[in-house]
A and B are shown apart, each in its own frame.
Chain A
Amino acid sequence: MERDDPGRVMQRSITTHPEKCTGCLRCALACSFRHTGMFNPMRARIHIRMDGPACDISFDDACTGCLACVGGCLYGALAAERQREGSA
C-alpha cells in the first residue's frame, strides 16, 4: 500500500489534500461501485483513515487511476492532474 503526502502528485495523476478531507467516503464508495458493482468502502482501492485530527489518504496496488474517486469528491481533497509525473 502506498502512502500519499499532501500535495504529492502520484503516478496515477491524483493529487491528495488530506487537510480538506471530511471523511465522507464518497471517494471510496465511487471506487467500490466502479470496480465491484457494489458499495462498501472496504472493497475500495482508496483508503481513508481518520485518526483524531489526522487524516491519511492512501491507494492500494490495485488502483488503476480511473479517477472515479476524484469524481466522487466534493471537497477538493482529491484532484486529477493532467501530467503523470512531477511535483504539485
Chain B
Amino acid sequence: MSSKGFAGRTAIVDLGTGAVEVRRLDEREAERFGGGLGLCIALAARAIPGPHGALGQENAVVIGAGPFVGTDLPATSRVYAVSALPCSNSIGWCGAGGMTFGCGLKYAGFDHVVVKGASSRPVYLSIHDDGVDMLDASWLSGKGAGRTCEELKARHGAQAGVLAVGPAGERLVSFAMAYVDGVSTLGRGGLGAVMGSKNLKAVVAGGSRGIGVADPVLYRSLRDGLVERIRRYPYLASWQDLGLLSSLPVVPAEVYRRLRVRRLACVSCPLGDKDMLKIEGAAPGDIVCSSSAVNLFMPLVYGMTDPLDAARCIARLDELGMDMFEFFGIMRLAASLQEMGLISGDPVIDVSSPSSMLSWADKVVERDGVGDTLAGGFDRIVREFGEQALRCAPPTFRGMVTYVGPLSALPWTYFGTMELGQILDPRGPHVGASGSPTYFARRGLEVFPGHLARMGVPEQAVKRILQGREGAGRGLNVGRLLRYSHRWFTILGSLGVCARAQVNRFYSAGLLARLYEAVTGIPTDAEKLAERADRSWTLLALANAGAGRGLTPGEVPRAWYGGEGFRDYVDGTALSLEDIGGMIADYYDEQGWDPVTGRPSPARLQELGLAE
C-alpha cells in the first residue's frame, strides 16, 4: 500500500519520555476507516481515554491527512486532528485547509502522527524522511503563530508545512487554536490549549518522498475530466477573485481589492480562497495572511466601523492564536458584566472599539486580572458569576458560542444543516454545512434531489428528507438531511477533499469511489465509502456517548426557538422547541441510533463492526 495514496507510516510520539515509535500503516484499519479523518478517529478512540480532561497528560492529539493529500486532485490538502477539547469537553474533530502541512506530512512518509503525554519543556516536532525529532522550542516561546511559522520555515525549508500555536495556546486559553502555515485555523474548541498543555509549540513536516497512485491511467482520465469541468465552471473566475466575499460581502469588493496583495491557495486548490492583504500597522511589513478576508473583516459585524481597524484586530488575535468568534462572544458577555459592576479593569470593554479589544486580547492571553477568568471561556465565567452571567450570555452550547443564528455573530434565520449541526456534532459549534445544499439560504426544493444523489444519499432516504418534518408532506427534514451531510463530510475528510461548498460540488460519491480505487488500489464503490464514513462517525459518537453526553432538547439554546428564533428552511414558519427536538430525534433515527439518548444502538454497532 505504501506510496499508493497512503504514505504508509504512522508515528506515535510520547512527549513525556521522548520515545518515538514508527509503525507501518495498518492496512486493514485503513480499509475499514478510509484514511484521513476516519483513521484519525479510529486512532483517537484507542489513544484518548475520554472526552474530559482535555488538558491532562492522558489526552492525545491525532493529526492526519487522507490518501488524496499530496496528489494533484483538486482541493485535496485537508489536514485533520482529533483530540479531547477543553471548551466542549468532547472528543472532537478539527479540520483545516492544509496549505503545505498535510502534503508535507505525506511527503515525509507519514499519514498520521499520534502525540501523547506532555513535555516538561517547550518542544516542537520535526517530521521528515527519516522519522520524527523532538526539538527544543524555548527559542519560540511567546512568539506568535505566524512568526513561529516563519522562523520554522527559515530553519527547515520553505516547502515544509508548519502547524503552530501562539501565546494563547502556550497559556492554555481555552479557546486557543492552532494555525497551519500561519494562514488556516485548526481546532475551534481549544486544540491550541491542548498543544500548550503538552508544551508542544509546533509540528513541522516535509520530505522528499513521493506519493504515487495505484492506477495512473485511470487516475489521469478521472483527474483530467474533473479539472476540465472546473475550468468550465462559469463562476470559477468570480470565486477566484472574491472567494467567500461573494456570499458574505462584509466589505465592498472594491475595498477588498484595494487591500489585496494576492489570493493564496492550499496545495492543489482551484479556488485560492485564502488571502494576503496589505494592512498598515497590522504586522511586520504590513502583510497579513488569513484563511479568508471575510475573517479579517468580521469585527464589522460586532460594530467596528473601519475595515482596517477590524483587520488589525483579527491579525492580532490570529498572531496570539485565539478563536475570534469565541473571543468576541466572551467580550460581549464581559461588557455586560462590566456594565453591571461585576467586573472591573481598564479599559472599558467595548466590542466596537479596536483599542479596547486589542487591550483585552492581551489581558486574556496574559491572564491578567479578570482576563484569567475570561481565558477560561464561558463555563468558567458562568461558574464565577452564576445566574447573572447566564442571563446576559449569548447563545451557547457546551461552553461555546453558537455563532450562527438568533443573537449570534451571523444572525442567519433559516434552519439548515449548518445551524442544527452546531448542536449535533460532538465537538459543538463549528463553521460548516458539511457539504449540504442548505449552505445557501432557502434554495428551492427542486435542487435537492440532484445534490443528494451526488452525495450518495439512498433514494428512500431522499424521500424521507423531502417529506419535511414529521412526514407532513413537501418540505425539508433537516435532521435526516444532516445525517447524510455528516456522512458526506466524513467521506470527504477521510480522503482529504475540502468540504467547502464551492469545491465539493465538483465531486460525487461515485467519482470519489473511482478515484479512491485509482489512487489506493483498494476495491471500492460508493456504498463502501459510505459504510466506512458511517463507521468513523459512529465511533466518534460512541467515544463521546461513553461519558453520557447524548444531546437532550433541554440543551437547545433558548434563543433558537419561539417568535424571534430560527425559522423553517422552506416555509419560514417559526420553529418551536418540539420542532427542533423532532429534528434531533430524526437525525438519530436516520443514523440507526437511539432516538432519545443518541447512543448508537447495539444493532447498528454490530452492522458496522464496532460491537466489540
Contact = CB atoms under 8 A, between A and B. Distances in A.
Given A21-B262, A38-B3, A39-B70, A52 B268 contact: no
Contacts of B276: 53
Contact of B272 (A29, A39, A55, A75): A75
Interface string A1-42: 000000000000000000101111110011011001111111
A37 B264 contact: no
Contact of A22 (B71, B208, B272): B272
Nearest to B270: A74
A84 interface: no
B266 interface: yes
B285 A24 contact: no
A69 B227 CA distance: 13
Nearest to B284: A52
B72 interface: yes
A37 B265 contact: no
A39 B159 contact: no
Interface of A is mostly: mixed
A72 interface: yes
B570 interface: no
A40 B72 CA distance: 10
B471 interface: no
Interface size bracket, A side: 20 to 34
B287 A24 contact: no
Contacts of B274: 22
A24 B267 contact: yes
A24 B3 CA distance: 21
Measured as residues with beta carbon below 8 angstroms from the partner, the interface class of chain B is 35 or more
Nearest to A49: B158
A42 B159 contact: yes
Contacts of A55: 262
A74 B230 contact: yes
A75 B267 CA distance: 13
A71 to B, nearest CB: 8
Contacts of A22: 262-265, 269, 272, 274
Contacts of B268: 24-26, 29
Interface string B249-281: 000000000000111111111101010101000
B209 interface: yes
Given A29-B72, A38-B210, A55-B262, A74 B287 contact: no
A39 B264 contact: no
Nearest to B71: A39
A55 B61 CA distance: 34
A51 to B, nearest CB: 8
B558 interface: no
A18 to B, nearest CB: 9
A36 B210 contact: yes
A37 B219 CA distance: 12
A21 B274 CA distance: 12
A24 B265 contact: yes
Nearest to B158: A49
Contacts of A33: 71-72
Contact of B210 (A21, A25, A39, A71): A39
Contacts of B71: 29, 33, 39
B211 interface: yes
**Residue among B262, B269, B272, B285 facing the most chain A CB atoms (10 A cut-off):** B262
Given A38-B212, A74-B236, A19 B3 contact: no
A1 B158 CA distance: 18
A52 B268 CA distance: 20
B216 interface: yes
A1 B72 CA distance: 24
A68 B236 CA distance: 21
B211 A40 contact: yes
A42 B262 contact: no
A30 B219 CA distance: 12
Given A23-B264, A24-B269, A75-B240, A39 B158 contact: no
Contacts of B24: none
A29 to B, nearest CB: 4
Contacts of B121: none
B231 interface: yes
Nearest to B3: A38
A19 B100 CA distance: 20
A16 to B, nearest CB: 14
Contacts of A71: 227
A60 to B, nearest CB: 15
A67 B94 CA distance: 37
Contacts of B272: 22, 24, 75
Contacts of B103: 25
Contacts of A29: 71-72, 267-268
A55 B158 CA distance: 13
Contact of B212 (A21, A39, A41, A42): A39
A52 B287 contact: yes
Nearest to A39: B211
Contacts of A39: 70-72, 210-212
B35 to A, nearest CB: 16
A33 B216 CA distance: 9
Nearest to B216: A37
A24 B266 contact: yes
B231 A38 contact: no
Interface in B140-159: 158-159
Contacts of A50: 158
A54 B231 CA distance: 26
Interface of B: 3, 70-72, 74, 100, 103, 107, 158-159, 208-212, 216, 227, 230-231, 236, 240, 261-270, 272, 274, 276, 278, 285, 287
Given A22-B269, A33-B71, A40-B210, 10 more contacts: A22-B262, A22-B272, A23-B264, A29-B71, A38-B3, A43-B208, A49-B158, A52-B287, A53-B278, A75-B263
24 contacts: A22-B262, A22-B269, A23-B265, A24-B266, A24-B267, A24-B270, A25-B268, A26-B72, A26-B268, A29-B72, A29-B267, A37-B216, A39-B211, A39-B212, A40-B210, A42-B107, A42-B208, A50-B158, A51-B158, A53-B278, A72-B72, A74-B227, A74-B240, A74-B270
Which 6 pairs show the lowest CB-CB distances between chains A and B?
Answer: A38-B210, A24-B265, A22-B272, A29-B72, A22-B265, A74-B270
